[in-house]
Homo-oligomer: A and B are copies of this chain.
């Protein structure tokens, strides 16, 4: 392997990586193409050479992230023996991913609160795949008499919503913890303890007594 001065794939990957970081941190509008170029140490025009435009780059970034999480969730799902196992895997895999890729929940929340202004179609179907998986787990559980009174859409948002808020507010909560003594903002609970708590609570909530 010769050390190359030019490596298109690596450059492209670098641009995507930095875009992901910046879009997640600052959102679509507040991220400038100039900024992406500077951070990535490439000329701005190169971004237009590789990607159609800013929205096109954004779409690729989102696609990459959403595919990654879907793959992980599916992977974790494969080795499960029961709907309860599957529910646990779903929650913990999602939480773990969101925690390790902490920009992702912010991106997702922002995009949802924009009504998918920037990437309507793709976003949409990616999120649907994830929801469909959980939906099937819950309905299977209900058929088997393990769960009862399930509204999958609400349970899905309960999981996604809770995890996303916990991850996105983590820095804010850390700051709050230093300021006040009275309120416990859970600022040093590790994510795997929290996700275990969420799973156990949702299990209680759904299980037939």
Residues on A lying within 8 angstroms of B by beta carbon are 26-27, 29-30, 105-107, 109-110, 112-117, 124, 128, 131-132, 135, 151-154, 157-158, 160-162, 164-166, 168-169, 171-173, 176, 182-186, 189, 194, 197-198, 201-202, 204-206, 209
Contact = CB atoms under 8 A, between A and B. Distances in A.
Contacts of A124: 172, 176
Nearest to A200: B149
A112 B165 CA distance: 8
Given A109-B110, A113-B168, 7 more contacts: A112-B165, A151-B194, A157-B162, A157-B166, A157-B169, A158-B158, A162-B162
A161 B180 CA distance: 24
Count this chain's copies in the assembly.
2
A6 B61 CA distance: 50
Contacts of A185: 153
Contact of A161 (B161, B197, B202, B206): B161
Contacts of A105: 113
- In the complex, the 9 A-B pairs of residues with the closest C-beta atoms, listed nearest first: A161-B161, A106-B113, A153-B186, A29-B29, A157-B165, A205-B205, A109-B113, A161-B165, A109-B109
28 contacts: A26-B114, A27-B113, A27-B114, A29-B30, A106-B113, A109-B109, A109-B110, A112-B168, A112-B169, A113-B168, A115-B172, A128-B183, A132-B182, A132-B183, A151-B194, A154-B162, A154-B186, A154-B197, A154-B201, A157-B165, A157-B169, A158-B161, A158-B198, A158-B201, A161-B165, A204-B204, A204-B205, A209-B209
Among A30, A109, A160, A197, the one with the most B-chain Cβ atoms within 10 Å of its Cβ is A109
Contacts of A158: 158, 161-162, 198, 201
Contacts of A161: 157-158, 160-162, 164-165
